[in-house]
Amino acid sequence: MKQTLFSATLDNGITLLGEDLPDLESAAVAIHVPAGAVHDGPGRCGLATLSGELCLRGAGERDSRRIVEDLENAGVQWAHSVSATHASFSGAMVARRLPDALPIFADIVRRPRLPPDEFEAARDMVLQGLAGTEDDPAHRTMLALRQIHFPAPWGMPAEGLAAEVERLSCTDVRRFCSTHLLPAGSIIAVAGRIDWPDFVARCTRLFGDWRGDPPPPIAPGPRGPHSRHVPHDAQQTHVAIAWSQPPYRDDTSHEATAALGILGGGSSSRLFTEVRERRGLCYTVSAGYQTHRDFAIAVCYAGTTAARAQETLDVILAEIERLPGTISAEELDRIKARAKSALVMQQESSAARAGSLGRQWYHLGEMRTLAEELARYDRLTVAAVEDWLAAQPAKDLSVVSLGHEALEVPRGVSA
């Protein structure tokens, strides 16, 4: 498949990435600034998220309303998010409106007004989101799992902790933005019906004279306990299990994700078949892969009636243990087919491609073509996946339950 990929680096360290998809009407752009939640600092969990929110409340010549009005009048479907590593601002639009959107995004990351009179509202908005999270049992389960498994501060919730957000001040936000909203390490990815030279020229004008040194890297701290029960009054109990995996940039990450796909990545996977189809234990059960640049995890999740939660956990653990030595060629072929479809179909979405380009650059320092990515899957063999599983058995599992009663985690599962 023919692909037209571009990249360029500005003097200040910003990477520009692009993919031309001339059959689309749309273009999507995503700006990732390395001002993520790992930089929150002790006792300030949620600072990056609150800072990202306040950046939208006035930037450059525009006040809060004008930013939204100008984006939406240009038909920009915009979004912003803060992850552990980045503050991201993105938009998808009819391609000819890209020149309207870029200056707005440039103002947001370079010239946020951070107005003190909007601070309380921004903080209340973040707190409302956190209160909503309290009512989402599956999300809370995953947050607790990441918190115990990842080394601090990588496991802390990017959306914040209410008690710490309440203590944040506008001064905290201003200081954070001045020391973290910086060009070095930033990525601007665009995909769709684009004019690359024009895009580079516009980005050079808008971002080229942005200056500042990157913040020091964050050293990983200690991790949490290996299991945790979160009391929660509801009909269902939620169970999540994690263990370490190679990060995406590791040469063996495709072996790892293939093994996980066989375990719980589709409706013909082991977990779906054994937990849901055979036993009817739950509606939702899956296994997935979550990666940071330097470490990654496998995650299994299920939600089920309290009385059947122990059996659900036991069946999941048995399937994890049964996986090595039992993978069939058909199972691996299905993983390859699913991966190929998903990769090819990304070409129909400018937003999906812009997102993918940015992620690849952050994790790999390069953009892989679809052909390269597909070739990596094609090269996988049952023997290679089995060898990898034999060398990297699932161990030191972290287990979280959320519900009325704690579940019994067998000895030997957790350290």
Query: How far apart are CB 46 and another protein at their closest, in Å?
Result: 14
Q: Residue 395 CB: number of other CB atoms within 10 A? A: 11
Task: CB nearer to another protein: give 221 or 280.
Answer: 280
Query: How far apart are CB 204 and another protein at their closest, in Å?
Result: 27
Query: How far apart are CB 226 and another protein at their closest, in Å?
Result: 26
Query: How far apart are CB 183 and another protein at their closest, in Å?
Result: 27
From CA 71, how far away is CA 78, in angstroms rounded?
7
Task: CB nearer to another protein: give 278 or 322.
Answer: 278
Task: CB nearer to another protein: give 153 or 303.
Answer: 303
Task: CB nearer to another protein: give 119 or 150.
Answer: 119
- Candidates 303, 293, 285, 298; CA nearest to 242 is 298
Query: How far apart are CB 152 and another protein at their closest, in Å?
Result: 26
Task: CB nearer to another protein: give 221 or 283.
Answer: 283
User: Which residues are CB-neighbours of 24 under 8 A, at least 6 positions away?
Assistant: 95, 192, 193, 348, 350
Task: CB nearer to another protein: give 337 or 364.
Answer: 337
Task: CB nearer to another protein: give 165 or 296.
Answer: 165
Query: How far apart are CB 118 and another protein at their closest, in Å?
Result: 9
Query: How far apart are CB 44 and another protein at their closest, in Å?
Result: 19
CA dihedral sign, ordered 66, 68, 72, 78: positive
